[in-house]
Each structure stands twice: as structure tokens, then as C-alpha cells.
């Protein structure tokens, strides 16, 4: 079991769910966020607990990320975004920062070489090789188009982290559609997935994978809520996001018109 975990990203839905469960574990936590005040607002207990240490600032601050990762056994990486907008490279930037910091820590260490830390990376079932391989179905190709830009960021980050096995040992967490609903329990699998996973179930499953030595040599797992195997339950949530993403991919100026309409109706 790890002694100290670093969590990158704790104010989004997934990061909050992960941190909520980590605070119930007997473990020290280093937390990276851009805004400390936002994190404290979400988790007031962090202002008084001694088990959590907050590192806030820009992800490109190498010194900050080195401090975050010092003496850490396991890294949980939940940075990301899900709107099909061109521009953000949150995951890629975070991956580069982690690798650069680990390089610097390895160079400055006087201790004998030890096992690299584990890194649990939030990914997507859309890119699970066991399910989709090199010839994905038409449906999967359309999903990849609907979330093209966040997936490009995800894939860039994955490539960076997976290219340095001497520095970090990566396990991908690949859920299906993420849903805001109450937890129902979860299934972890290497060969099948359902339609949806609640953020709260995902958070607990990520902590399980991080804490349990059985997953140390597993390159990727898929997580589905126990209530998430029926697509019909989530069609009303999934399909609007899917078609919105496709529109952003195929219609020039979609986001400009979308944002203008949102301001007009607000």
C-alpha cells in the first residue's frame, strides 16, 4: 500500500470524488490545484487536517511539481476537460510537467535506484485497446469525432507518460460516459464496460486501483457503475452531448454561435 499519494486535479467532478475517498484512507496526500481557495471552499477540512498538503499554482512551475511529487509512491492524475473545443492542452501540459519533475528528482537523488512511482491516469473507454483495437466500429469513430479535441489532449498526455517507463508506471482508468448521479457500486474489468459511470463510483474505484497492489502491473482497467450497464438510463444525458460535439466538429463557427446564444439567454 502506498504511503503518500499525489493528486493532480481536485476541484473537478472526478478529482472531488477521488479526494473525498482519499481523506477516509490512512495515507498522506499531496494535492495540486490551480486555486487553493476554491479547493478549501469545497473541502473546508483541508484547512485543519495534517494529512493533506496543498500545492497551488501553474502546472508549468517545475519547482512546484517537484515538491508535489517528492517522496510520493503513487500519482493520481485527473486533469482534463470534456467539451469539444480547440485549444486547451491541460492533460498534455500536466503530463510534461510530471515527467520533467520526475526527471529532476531522479537526477538529484542520492538514494539507490528504486521502483518508479505508479501513476493512475483518467482516460476513456473509447480508447481501450482490448475493446476497440486498431479497427474501431463506426459508432466509436463517431464518439471520437464528437470529443475530438479533448481526446487529442488525452492521447498526447498518454503518449508522454507511457514513453517513460523508467520514471513512472502507468495504469489507465477508462470509464464510459461520466454521469452526475448517486453511486450504485462499480465493476472494474479489463475486457468489458457498460454505458455509464457516476463520478462518485469512479472516484472510489480510482482510489481502489491506487491502493491495491493487485493492479500494479495492469496497464488499463474499465470502470462501470453497477447501475450503468443500461444505455437507456443515460440516453437523455449522453446523446445531447454527443450531437453537440459532432456539431462542433462539422459546423464552422459552432462555438461562437453557441456562446453568443448562451450570453443572450443568460
Average pLDDT over every residue of 48-52: 92
Domain extent for 17: 4-265
Structural domains in the chain (count): 1
**Band (112; pLDDT cuts 50, 70, 90):** low
pTM of the model: 0.94
Query: What does the DSSP assignment read for the chain?
Result: --SEEEEE--SSHHHHHHHHHHTTSSSEEEEEES-HHHHHHH-GGGGT-SSEEEEES-TT-HHHHHHHHTT-SEEEE-----S--S---HHHHHHHHHHHHHHHHHHH--SPP-PPPEEEEE--GGG-HHHHTTS--HHHHHHHHHTHHHHHHHHHHHHHHHT-TTT-EEEEEE-SEEE-S----EEEESS---SEEEHHHHHHHHHHHHH-GGGTT-SEEEEEETT-S-HHHHHHHHHHHHHHHHHHHHSTTHHHHHHHHHHHH-
**Band (87; pLDDT cuts 50, 70, 90):** confident
Average pLDDT over every residue of 173-193: 96
Say if residue 164's pLDDT is above 70: yes
**What digits encode the pLDDT tens for the residues 191-232?**
999 999 999 999 999 999 999 999 999 999 999 999 999 999
Confidence at residue 261, expressed as pLDDT on a 0 to 100 scale:
87
Mean pLDDT in the chain? 94
Say if residue 111's pLDDT is above 90: no
Confidence at residue 245, expressed as pLDDT on a 0 to 100 scale:
95
Amino acid at each position: 500500500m502506498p504511503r503518500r499519494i499525489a493528486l493532480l486535479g481536485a476541484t473537478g467532478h472526478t478529482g472531488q470524488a477521488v479526494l473525498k475517498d482519499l481523506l477516509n484512507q490512512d495515507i498522506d496526500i499531496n494535492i495540486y490545484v490551480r486555486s487553493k481557495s476554491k479547493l478549501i471552499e469545497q473541502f473546508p477540512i483541508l484547512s485543519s487536517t495534517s494529512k493533506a498538503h496543498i500545492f497551488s499554482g501553474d502546472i508549468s512551475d517545475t519547482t512546484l511539481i517537484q515538491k508535489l511529487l517528492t517522496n510520493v509512491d503513487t500519482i493520481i492524475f485527473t486533469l482534463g476537460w470534456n467539451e469539444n473545443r480547440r485549444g486547451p492542452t491541460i492533460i498534455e501540459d500536466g503530463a510534461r510537467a510530471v515527467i520533467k519533475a520526475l526527471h529532476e528528482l531522479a537526477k538529484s537523488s542520492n538514494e539507490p535506484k528504486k521502483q518508479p512511482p505508479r501513476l493512475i491516469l483518467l482516460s476513456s473507454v473509447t480508447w481501450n485497446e482490448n475493446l476497440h483495437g486498431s479497427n474501431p466500429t463506426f459508432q466509436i469513430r463517431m464518439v471520437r469525432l464528437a470529443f475530438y479535441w479533448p481526446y487529442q489532449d488525452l492521447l498526447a498526455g498518454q503518449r508522454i507518460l507511457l514513453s517513460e517507463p523508467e520514471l513512472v508506471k502507468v495504469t489507465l482508468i477508462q470509464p464510459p460516459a461520466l454521469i452526475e448521479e448517486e453511486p450504485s457500486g462499480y465493476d472494474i474489468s479489463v475486457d468489458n464496460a457498460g454505458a455509464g459511470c457516476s463520478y462518485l463510483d469512479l472516484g472510489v474505484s480510482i482510489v481502489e486501483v491506487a491502493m491495491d497492489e493487485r493492479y500494479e502491473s495492469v496497464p488499463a482497467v474499465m470502470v462501470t457503475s453497477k447501475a450503468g450497464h443500461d444505455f437507456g438510463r443515460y440516453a437523455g444525458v449522453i446523446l445531447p452531448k454527443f450531437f453537440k460535439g459532432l456539431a462542433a466538429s462539422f459546423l464552422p463557427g459552432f462555438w461562437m454561435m453557441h456562446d453568443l446564444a448562451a450570453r443572450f439567454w443568460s
